[in-house]
Amino acid sequence: MFKHALTYVLTALLLFPIIRNGDAAEELTLYSGRSKSLVEPIIQQFEQETGVTVKVNYGNTTQLAAALMTEGEKSPAALFWAQDAGALGAVSKKGLFAKLPDALQAKVPANFRDADGFWVATSGRARVLAYSPERVTTKQLPESVFALTQPMWKDKVGWAPHNASFQAFVTAMRMQVGEERTEEWLRGMKANGAKTYAKNTPIIEALAAGEIDLGLPNHYYLLRFKKSNSNFLVAQTFFKANDPGNLVNIAGIGMLKSSKNQETALKFVTFLLSAKAQQFFVSEVFEYPVTEGVIPNANLVPLSELLKLVPTFNLNEMADLEGTLALLRKVGIL
């Protein structure tokens, strides 16, 4: 009898982690190009509210996109959460995404989702010109990203060419002004001593430390520093209206066609587009919402004003990530 009782207890203990209210616990594998520090809280909130366990593989968006294309149908991922439209487009171009339900797509404006319905934006992010107000006056600020190759900015500009957001920006520039002019700008920046940083945060830190005078990050990195220190001595602005340097990109998500738990995956996408999650992106990450009904963040340029500054560009045209990587290698930046 004791033996049978012990067997029963051991069996119960083994089953306990996967039983919740009589149902098997759900799991979801997510490939996230979004930084852990930015999105972990909202992922944890989803887990708490739904009981779904999310296994997150954090990494560089470009590298994760390459991994998905290599893994193909054997990928364990159910979702790919990228920090730019280019990577989403590249994966979609390989036919790896499943089409999202029309009702889900309808939550997001047409210019913030895939034209064929294979991915949707989860938040918006703007490219900006960050600068040191101690060493650069507003009158000295360049009006165009192309002016950064001028001699006056030699050894004074920071960029992050290995970062997916920067690569998406270069992809957009290629689509807007052509391959030749983009290559000319990249070579000009390299010759002018542009300093390379691993990602956006070190650019902001380098500006504060006096290593550089100008930088090319996404808009929200500085706002995170300002949240903890309102006197942080870095500022940011936009270039003149319609300049390629003012790209408004998105973070977005797509569901893998090969996934066997698409129903659970759709729960996660739906959650990211909920008012609760959208407010998190606006209030805590300082990004722009992609759905209505969100309280604006006073630290952000109103979206209506921002859209007057951005270049006219279709995010669906940013799928040629491989072409951008090839160009960056050709120039000797990667």
User: What is the rounded CA–CA span in Å between residue 201 and residue 36?
Assistant: 14
Residue 77 has pLDDT above 70, yes or no: yes
Higher pLDDT among residues 333 and 25, named by residue: 333
pLDDT of 17: 41
Q: What is the average pLDDT score of the chain?
A: 91
* Topology of the domain covering 17-123+250-300: D-Maltodextrin-Binding Protein; domain 2 (3.40.190)
Residues 132 and 168: beta-carbon distance below 8 Å: no
User: What is the rounded CA–CA span in Å between residue 223 and residue 199?
Assistant: 16
Q: How far is the first Cα of the chain from the last one, in angstroms, to the nearest whole number?
A: 68
> Could you read off the pLDDT of 178-192 as tens digits, one per residue?
999 999 999 999 999
With a CB cutoff of 8 Å and minimum separation 6, the contacts of 280 are 41, 42, 45
17-123+250-300 and 129-246+320-331 share one fold: yes
pLDDT > 70: percent of the chain: 93
> Could you read off the pLDDT of 249-290 as tens digits, one per residue?
999 999 999 999 999 999 999 999 999 999 999 999 999 999
pLDDT of 19: 34
Map out the domains of the chain as residue ranges: 17-123+250-300, 129-246+320-331
Residues 80 and 88: beta-carbon distance below 8 Å: yes
Cα distances (angstroms) measured from residue 73 to each of 87, 96, 117, 253, 259:
18, 8, 20, 18, 8
Residues 293 and 107: beta-carbon distance below 8 Å: no
User: Hey, CA dihedral for 158, 147, 162, 297, is it positive or negative?
Assistant: positive
Residue 283 dihedral angles phi and psi, to the nearest 5°: -80, -35
Helix ranges, the chain (H): 2-15, 36-50, 61-71, 85-93, 102-105, 164-177, 179-191, 200-209, 220-228, 262-272, 275-283, 303-309, 321-331
What is the domain class of 129-246+320-331 according to CATH?
Answer: alpha beta
Question: In sequence order, what are the beta bridge partners of 124?
Answer: 250, 288
Within its chain, how far is the Cα of 159 from the centroid?
A: 16
